[in-house]
Chains A and B, each alone.
Chain A
Amino acid sequence: MSGFNKKTRREFIKVVGISGGGLILASFIPFNDLLSNADDDLKIFSPSVFLKIDSNGVVTIIFHRSEMGQGIKTALPMLVAEELEVDWKKIIIEQSDADSKYGSQSTGGSTSIRKNWEPLRVAGATAREMLILAAANKWKINSSNCYAENGFVVNRSNGNKLSYGELVEDAAKLPVPTNVKLKDPKDFKLIGKRVHRVDTPDKIYGKAIFGIDVVIPGMFYAALSRCSSFGGKVKSFDAGKTKSMPGVIDVVQISNGVAVIADSTWNAFNGRDALIVEWESGPYANVMTEDIRNEMKKHINDDGAEFEKRGDIKNIIEGETKLEAMYEVPFITHAPMEPMNCVAKYQNGKAEIWAPTQNAQDAQNEVAKILGISRDDVTVHITLMGGGFGRRLVNDYAVEAAEISKACGKTVKLTWTREEDMKFGFFRPPSMNIVKGSVTKDGKPAKFYHHIIAPSIMQMRFNKNLTAEKSDIAEGTVGLQYQIPNIKITGTLIPTHIPISWWRSVYNSQNPFAVESFIDEMAYTAGKDPYLFRKEMLPKDSRLTNVMNVAVEKAGWKAGEKFPDGKGMGIAIFSGYESYCAQIAEVTVKDNKLKIDKYTTVIDCGIVVNPDTVEAQLEGAIVFALSAALKSEITIRNGGVKESNYDDYPMLTYDETPIIETYYIENNYKVGGVGEVGIAACAPALTNAIFAATGKRIRRLPVKLN
């Protein structure tokens, strides 16, 4: 893995005069910028913002998104390397800073591979074609008589070779081709292979630098005191005791509270704990979870805004059996292992930020805004992060660090404690789901109605005037593939002052729980096997049907099987993020104690870039979703969050984790998303299995068996 070590020679960052978002094609690079000089007279050819090749033949691929464990620091460079025809073992992967020249760097929505599939391959292919043409010109032959392989251009007729390094100067003088041919998937050498992650060795040796590990010369450590209830503000504070504490250097007030700056994290924490702050706790200081639930309950019988309608759900025809249920999910939080943190350096009207962020360009904007400087004066270095799961799409911690740095005039590392991480998150909103339906005499689905009562992330974060039908709360229930003749999906938005945001798969972590549980209830009402009931409702040759069939085969699901007492299997399916997924859970329930024996999960995400990371994402998604289904609940008490650490907000442990089998469908369909896909079907597969084992239907998460 030596090829992935940091560069020893002086770093040269080429500045290309391009701004604005969107797709960056190699052809946008001004001709004169294709070649530049490094200090040691090294020539660097960079026909795209995503790669550079120097005259020694060193190939550097720029990784412009955020690595939080999903494996894209490996998978995205694979896309460039595949087309560029280079030796994977010899490339250098370089994390970019925030810069609009890369297009969107926001790492969320399972978009990294989907959105970069084409631009990154185009970047690699463009450079390859230019190098080939440069070699052909040198040999005075037609470029069709040359091909690229392993960092060389080869002359077909005599086998002569020129290395990329030898060609960079000439290649840089060529015009950038605009419509290069991309490889046929059958010719892929790297894509589809189990490629080892480039960052694993450093991570396990303790050498990898996460945000929290960043050290800048002259840096101090900061901790922040915040109001325990949401919406509260500092009324006054007494820093007398804090200032006499060891290592404390300064105390400053910022928008979110009072910050203590000290010579170590520990001293900053202690100084912060010694502050006496009087809070103006605001209008929500007495809010409890029950108040929010009661507000939601008021809307159970609302007509609601209409998301989708087909046929008529109203009249139950004679012989139809009617059923109705309510499903509920709570606020939950991300709780990544690395708490929020950020290093900020504000000096002379410019800011430099080292942030474990999923959304570096947003950090750049937000930091600029709070400091009152231009975005161009904010440099954001993206660090590795110890999990993100959506939490780090919001850059509140970077803004706080920047404000503290400006207020105290020093470079600071702000570290949140775990307790702060639990209490000051941006939570996955709760929802109540009223689902009604009917099945015909001969056991076919007739009607399906889903009414969602939930706060909207889009409304709360972006547009207070957003109306329900244009909101996000119905993700995972609109556009179902089930061919039920009569369908209606409606919703009511519940405004909330509690900070809410995206949590791995967002509303797909809740609506499919209601949908797939209810479909199961319909199947039992119809007297049908839950798998066959679903199958009959789906288009015959659909990709969703296929993943379900494969899951059934792999898990050994037998239609109509009677399980031994306390044993059960449950199935659930999901389509979203341009992918398809089926999951089967197997459980044992004995004396009200649940043991999850096995999960079988099958994904069809089109072309698979790195099979190993696709499987890892599915395995991880199941553990993540099971933690939520079994254990997670954020409770609002006196306007703030009750939970404080992993003891009262527990997660699945090693011994509780079932055997997980993952399968992916091999095909050449367009690449689909992966990271969030494995979440949606997980909870309903579990609760459907619990029903099969016990006859008890779980309609509220987290699962409680008694």
Chain B
Amino acid sequence: MPTFKLNINKKEYEVTVESGTPLLWVLRDNLNLTGTKYSCGEGLCGSCTVHLNGKAERSCIVSVEEAVNQKITTIEGLAENPNHPIFKTWIDLEVSQCGYCQPGQIMTLAAMLDSDSKPSRKEIDQTMSTVLCRCGTYNRIRKAIDKIVEEKL
């Protein structure tokens, strides 16, 4: 089995897994970074979103090879700063219900705000509509985003 070097949350890791293993399962099963969630396995729901070089990607359809030589950030990495405006607003407005999709919601939003701190309504709609939430927290996500964007938190 090949060994892959991965840079995750500014730390270097070496994992020995089958070629083609999705990054999601490397994070979860090999590195116990379980904040990245499995839900659809086909890039349809966004629960497994991580950042690759700052860009939001669905880790269930990114192979371990594709993740080599990229800066990978997971929800655990983003949460190294619990004062991040997204976290603070998410707690303030109690966005989460079951919470399972929320790491994916937050990682998707964080990448969007990193590239554009004043996204248009259309951009927000398009970006956030790629992450599903079965509990139906969309209204509060919208309120949280509005607050973050308007108040430039």
Tell me the A residues contacting B by CB distance below 8 Å: 68-71, 196-197, 199-201, 203-210, 212-213, 215, 221, 246-247, 264-267, 335-339, 384-389, 415, 417-419, 612-613, 616, 619-624, 627, 645-647, 651-657, 659-660
Contact = CB atoms under 8 A, between A and B. Distances in A.
Given A206-B74, A622-B136, A70 B97 contact: yes
Nearest to B131: A654
Given A205-B82, A207-B35, A210-B100, A647 B42 contact: yes
A206 B94 contact: no
> At the interface, is chain B mostly helix, strand, loop or mixed?
loop
Given A266-B29, A335-B134, A654 B99 contact: no
A336 B98 contact: yes
A338 B42 contact: no
A627 to B, nearest CB: 8
Contacts of B139: 619, 623, 657, 659-660
B41 A386 contact: no
A622 B100 CA distance: 19
Contact of A199 (B38, B99, B101, B106): B99
Contacts of B35: 205-207
Given A203-B102, A647-B44, A338 B39 contact: yes
B51 interface: no
A412 B130 CA distance: 33
B8 to A, nearest CB: 13
Given A205-B79, A247-B18, A384 B34 contact: no
A384 B35 CA distance: 13
Contacts of A623: 133, 135-136, 138-139
Contact of B134 (A205, A267, A336, A616): A336
Contact of A200 (B99, B134, B135, B138): B99
Contacts of B33: 206
Given A246-B1, A654-B142, A657-B139, A387 B129 contact: no
Contacts of A646: 40, 44-45, 132
A645 B132 CA distance: 12
Contacts of B4: none
B101 A337 contact: yes
B116 interface: no
B112 interface: no
B67 interface: no
Contacts, number: 188
A338 B37 contact: yes
Given A337-B101, A655-B126, A659-B139, A616 B94 contact: yes
Given A336-B134, A653-B129, 12 more contacts: A69-B96, A204-B95, A205-B35, A205-B76, A205-B79, A206-B79, A212-B38, A265-B25, A418-B41, A620-B97, A645-B42, A655-B129
A198 B40 CA distance: 28
A202 B95 CA distance: 13
B38 A415 contact: yes
B28 interface: yes
B91 A654 contact: no
Contacts of A657: 136, 138-139, 142
A206 B91 contact: no
A204 B74 contact: no
A621 B136 contact: yes
Given A266-B25, A418-B42, A385 B17 contact: no
A70 B98 CA distance: 7
Query: Closest 4 interchain pairs by CB?
Result: A206-B35, A623-B136, A386-B100, A203-B99
A264 B29 contact: yes
A386 B103 CA distance: 12
Nearest to B33: A206
A612 B94 contact: yes
Candidate in A69, A196, A624 with the most chain B CB atoms within 10 angstroms: A69
